[in-house]
Structure 1
Amino acid sequence: MRFGTGQSASFAGRALHRYLDFVRRTTRFKPAIPGARPWERSRDPFIALTWHGQQMLSLAALDGAAEVAILASLHFDGAVVASVVERAGFRVIRGSGTQSPLKIKAKRAIPAFFEMREALRAGTSLLLTADVPKIARVAGRGAVQLARATGRPIYLFAAVTSARIDLDNWDRASIALPFGRGCVLWSEPLYVRKAADEREMGLIALEIASQLDELHVTAHRLLDRRR
């Protein structure tokens, strides 16, 4: 399925939204560190990043944030995500990144980038996944390019729960289950210079990957301590 939702995606999105809300309400989240969340630090918009396979609790992580847009692909799973996001009161931008120049138009990569850039400039924050398409735990440069173009900070986050199923798929996804303990951790802001060249952006992408891994390890360690 391409651009547009359809009845099946809408139905799946409604069911998933209800499930995620149930998980959020039945999970005992560790109290957030005061002032750690981006919207508590500043009213300026920001770019939020997490791993693709760890995005299930993103709405819980963004609880309290205002004016947020979430990037969703043009495929059926993206249509389901779009339905969930809209029910949660957030904006959706359709499109996705790609490593293949031949797929840029089909993925709507360039229009989506411009929409995200304008959203940030207009005061709307963004939620993206960090991975290079179909390569787990390797951070791409899309968010880095957005940060360079707009001057907005990147915040990394880990949202994990003790009750979960870890899958052996391409993005090593975790399926959050209800009645567990949860933890959300945010990083310090990461800024990208407007003059940053390709080498510098590549190093920033490597730093993003390292920090995201560290955040998730720390979040799981904090949950283990509370047993």
Structure 2
Amino acid sequence: MRFGTGQSAAVAGRALYAYLAFVQRTTRFKPALPGIRPWERSREPFIALTWHGQQMLSLAALDGAAEIAILTSLHFDGAVVATVVERAGFRAIRGSGAQSPRKIKTKRAIPAFFEMREALREGTSLVLTADVPKLARVAGKGAIQLARATGRPIYLFAAVTSARVDLDNWDRASIALPFGRGCVLWSEPLYVRRAADEREMGLIALDISTQLDELHATAHRLLDRRR
């Protein structure tokens, strides 16, 4: 049987969703402190960020959240992730950030930005990866621009498990495995002033990079203590 690209992505997405659900069921997550997760703090929609290579347990981090949209790329892997997102009961927004003017159009960067802005204004929270495209663990300004335009807070999160395979690829991805111990950490909210200029946004991006690295390091230390 031959499948088109869309059918293949849907089949792969269903399989990936089943695997992620299995990992979540068989992972013993460290109990989260009450009131730490963004949707427990207030009803205000938010922007959630993690590193691209550490996003595999995002559904576990969002357990209990409602009205969530997740940005996925236009590539085949983005179509796979979109299927996972929709099977989890969330909304997929297709598009991705770009640095060159030529790629801004082909990656649907501007329409995706407007769609995300409207989602936030209508009460839907967003989940994005923080990295500059193809530059691992260096935060870009896309989420910061969204926060500036909407007044919504940015929350950073780390979702890690002791059972995993760490890859030596561009985003230093971790593949979560079942039957491990897990930990999800959330940061304090970060607000961006509407009057923030490019310099201020650049400093915020540096702070996000530092905080995300620290959150992941802390989550791994907490798992190591539980051995």
1:63 Cα deviation from its structure 2 partner: 0.5
Using the aligned pairs only, state the percent identity: 88
| Other structure's SS at 1:13 match | helix
| Other structure's SS at 2:23 match | helix
List alignment gaps of at least 5 residues for structure 1. none
Instruction: List structure 1 runs of 4+ shifted beyond 3 angstroms.
Output: none
2:90 corresponding residue in structure 1: 90
1:33 Cα deviation from its structure 2 partner: 1.2
Q: Does 1:128 align with 2:128?
A: yes
1:211-222 to structure 2, matched below 5 A, reads 211-222=211-222
| Other structure's SS at 1:33 match | coil
| Inter-partner Cα distance in structure 2 for 1:104 and 1:182 | 37
| Other structure's SS at 1:110 match | helix
Q: Does 1:154 align with 2:128?
A: no
1:170-181 to structure 2, matched below 5 A, reads 170-181=170-181
| Other structure's SS at 1:184 match | strand
1:34 Cα deviation from its structure 2 partner: 1.0
| Inter-partner Cα distance in structure 2 for 1:175 and 1:43 | 32
| Inter-partner Cα distance in structure 2 for 1:122 and 1:7 | 31
For residue 169 of structure 2, what is the amino acid of its counterpart? N
**Cα RMSD, aligned residues only:** 0.9
Across the two proteins, how many residue pairs are aligned to each other? 224
| Inter-partner Cα distance in structure 2 for 1:216 and 1:72 | 22
1:44-193 to structure 2, matched below 5 A, reads 44-193=44-193
| Inter-partner Cα distance in structure 2 for 1:199 and 1:38 | 27
For residue 24 of structure 2, what is the amino acid of its counterpart? R
Q: Deviations over 1:109-142 (max 9, x none)?
A: 0000000000000000000000000000000000
| Inter-partner Cα distance in structure 2 for 1:5 and 1:216 | 35
| Inter-partner Cα distance in structure 2 for 1:101 and 1:205 | 21
Q: Does 1:22 align with 2:26?
A: no
Contact 1:57 1:159 in 2 (8 A): yes
1:5 Cα deviation from its structure 2 partner: 6.3
| Other structure's SS at 2:9 match | helix
For residue 141 of structure 2, what is the amino acid of its counterpart? R
| Inter-partner Cα distance in structure 2 for 1:99 and 1:171 | 17
Taking a change above 3 Å as real, the CA distance of residues 96 and 161 of structure 1, as seen in their structure-2 partners, is same
Taking a change above 3 Å as real, the CA distance of residues 194 and 5 of structure 1, as seen in their structure-2 partners, is farther
| Other structure's SS at 1:105 match | helix
Contact 1:5 1:83 in 2 (8 A): no
